[in-house]
Chains A and B, each alone.
Chain A
């Protein structure tokens, strides 16, 4: 039940994109078409889960025992950058089909602050290894969900009559704001779930 609450919190109540403000550059950049949004979403799920697992191990077995926790930022960004590079090379050799689908999104992920943010949040929230991995999967699924929903809306917006100064990114941001408002509706679901388990 605690795991379920963790998943629902990361996926909906604290959606990283809409309510934690992480990963907005790709959110606005690649949400214009449905197929690229799906590709980016999958690439993020893949990389974020791996990155969080590895950075958790780095933190617990390298930074903490050596007492160099202040190097966390530097260490994590290096791990993520090299991981992305490695995943790219591995996919190109081993799974060309998947590489075709995700390839162009992988370099972009290095500077996706959501990947870095979730890795740091997993440490700050003091999750254990399993919780961290579940947290990463749920967060990235929340990212993919918001991205795909946004792409669906933006494809419709193409045909809409938007005032000239608001065209493009501006209307994208306002749309995101309205989506975030809808996601605020999930506030408190975790408390009701907790109450349900206790009764």
Chain B
């Protein structure tokens, strides 16, 4: 049962980026389209799960004083792998995400999970935690990307979706739309949990 909790916690209670307001830069930057959001999410699942596994496996070996630096090196290694693999096999995703693939290194969610969870728990639980938080992050990004792409461009995963006279709401795919859309989604999340609690 508690193993199940490790996995599902990332899907609602600690859903990034809404509950843990961390790692916002990629969230805002790559969600111009649903494809960008999904691609970034998958990269993060890969890096987060593997870095959680390694951090947790080495948690008794790494001295406490240099742990942050060690975590960053572990994370950076997986990010370089993602960078090279997407460049070789998924070139369209590589160009869509651009600068934000190397920037996964400084995504606070990954370092945050390494510090708060993986360095204190066993390998199996850390794997579940990485998968859960990564999946939650992917879902959030895909939903945000879908809303912005449908309203801002009239398409979803590049498929035309809206009626022919639909005037795309360009604001949504520009930077201001990213901030406003994320802010409203955060407000909606708060409203839902507010009614649930009362």
A73 touches B83 (CB 8 A): yes
A117: interface (CB < 8 Å): yes
CB pair B102 A72 closer than 8 Å? yes
Residues in A with CB closer than 8 Å to B187 are 163, 165-166, 170-171
- B106 close to A (CB within 8 Å): yes
Assembly CA distance A81 to B188 (angstroms): 37
Instruction: Give the interface segment out of A3-11, A15-23, A44-52, A95-103.
Output: A15-23
Binds A, one of B3-11, B17-25, B128-136, B150-158: B17-25
Total number of B residues with any Cβ neighbor in A under 8 Å: 43
**Known contacts A25-B108, A70-B84; A174 and B179 CB within 8 A of each other:** yes
**A110 — which chain B residues lie within 8 A by C-beta?**
68, 72, 106
Q: How far is the CA of A169 from the CA of B16 in the complex (A)?
A: 14
B45 sits at the interface (CB 8 A): no
Contact B25 A22 (CB under 8 A): yes
Contacts of B68 in A (CB 8 A): 81, 110
Beta-carbon nearest neighbor of A121 in chain B: B99
Among the stretches B56-64, B89-97, B116-124, B169-177, the one at the interface with A is: B169-177
A120–B156 Cα distance when bound, in Å, is: 31
- From residue A93, how far is it (CB to closest CB) to chain B in Å? 20
Indicate if the CB atoms of B22 and A25 lie closer than 8 Å.
yes
Closest to A164 in B: B194
Q: Let me know if B54 is at the binding interface, CB within 8 A.
A: no
- Determine the chain A residues whose CB is within 8 A of the CB of B1 once the complex forms: none
Contact of B106 among A18, A28, A70, A77 (CB under 8 A): A77
Asked if B76 contacts A73 (CB within 8 A), the reply is yes
Within 8 A of B (CB), among A35-75: 70-74
Which of A133-141, A151-159, A178-186, A189-197 sits within the interface? Answer: A178-186
A170 & B190 in contact (Cβ 8 Å cutoff): yes
Pick the residue among A21, A163, A171, A178 that contacts B178 (CB under 8 A).
A21
* CB atoms of A177 and B21 under 8 A apart: no
* CB pair A116 B190 closer than 8 Å: no
Assembly CA distance A197 to B105 (angstroms): 41
Check B175–A180 contact: CB distance below 8 A: yes
Q: CA–CA, A20 to B103, complex, Å? A: 13
Chain B, 70-105, CB within 8 A of any chain A CB: 72-73, 76-77, 79-80, 83-84, 99, 102-103, 105
Interface residues of A (CB under 8 A from B): 18-25, 28, 70-74, 77-78, 81, 110-113, 116-117, 120-121, 124, 163-167, 169-174, 176-178, 180-181, 184
10 new A-B contacts, CB < 8 A, other than A70-B83, A120-B102, are: A24-B25, A113-B106, A113-B107, A165-B187, A173-B179, A173-B180, A173-B182, A174-B179, A177-B176, A177-B180
